[in-house]
Amino acid sequence: MTGMIAEGVAYHPGLLPATEQKALVADLHRVIAAAPFFTPQMPRTGAPFSVEMTNCGPLGWVSDRKGYRYQPTHPETGRRWPPIPERLLKIWRAVGAPGVPEACLINRYGEGAKMGLHQDRDEETFEAPVVSVSLGDTAVFRMGGTTRRGPTRSLRLASGDVIVFGGPARLMYHGIDRVLAGSSRLLPEGGRLNLTMRRVTPFPADEAG
């Protein structure tokens, strides 16, 4: 199954060959050394997420008792996020996303981690798609429509797969039901890394297109 699997949703299984996956993991190790993983909290309640997160790019997505938002600095170190690796920018261009992304959220799924259905809607603009890259263990990805109670379908995302959602699907509900432990040997520590590149602010007139 390749190509458009729903209106606005493009699935690219195995877009990254094994050598590129390994090289990208090495790039991410440098990112994580500069911006260590942190455990985000739910707004108001302060309940911890089951995934750990970090970011790269000019802006990074964070969540704590104050709410969901993008900011230019790491919430614990106070340092600016490291730049997005060129290998990720190459993927952004390869799938036809316009301009350049401003944020890449890196989620680490360990044993038992999951992500409930949600929309990516904290950005100021929805004119660019979300580009999601999977590394490591296979995940059961659930996607629906633009309303929480709409019908959903599931798709297994393996290491090296890329899924893109934009246009009418830019605000689709999506989440991770579970991760299939031991399904990949890419990450020595096991688990899964999910990288989602996003555009946060509107494009300058000379950058879109």
CA–CA dist 164, 7 (Å, integer): 11
Residue 175 has pLDDT above 70, yes or no: yes
Cβ atoms of 72 and 59 within 8 Å: the answer is yes
Cβ atoms of 168 and 177 within 8 Å: the answer is no
Please tell me the pTM assigned to this model.
0.95
Taking Cα atoms as reference points, which of 39, 76, 43, 70 lies closest to residue 196? 70
Residue 1 has pLDDT above 80, yes or no: no
Percent of the chain whose pLDDT exceeds 90: 92
Residue 66 has pLDDT above 60, yes or no: yes
Top pLDDT among 1 and 90 is at: 90
Residue pLDDT, tens place only, 117-158: 999 999 999 999 999 999 999 999 999 999 988 899 999 999
Average pLDDT over residues 53-65: 98
Average pLDDT over residues 33-42: 98
pLDDT tier at 205, thresholds 50, 70, 90 = confident
CA–CA dist 182, 121 (Å, integer): 32
Cβ neighbours of 107 (radius 10 Å): 21
Q: 17-36+45-143+155-198: CATH homologous superfamily? A: Alpha-ketoglutarate-dependent dioxygenase AlkB-like (2.60.120.590)
CA–CA dist 64, 61 (Å, integer): 10
* Mean pLDDT of the residues in the chain: 96
Identify the pLDDT of residue 142: 97
pLDDT tier at 86, thresholds 50, 70, 90 = very high
Identify the pLDDT of residue 77: 98
Cβ atoms of 116 and 80 within 8 Å: the answer is no
Identify the pLDDT of residue 208: 57
pLDDT tier at 52, thresholds 50, 70, 90 = very high
- Two tokens at 114? 């999951």
Residue 207 has pLDDT above 80, yes or no: no
pLDDT tier at 12, thresholds 50, 70, 90 = very high
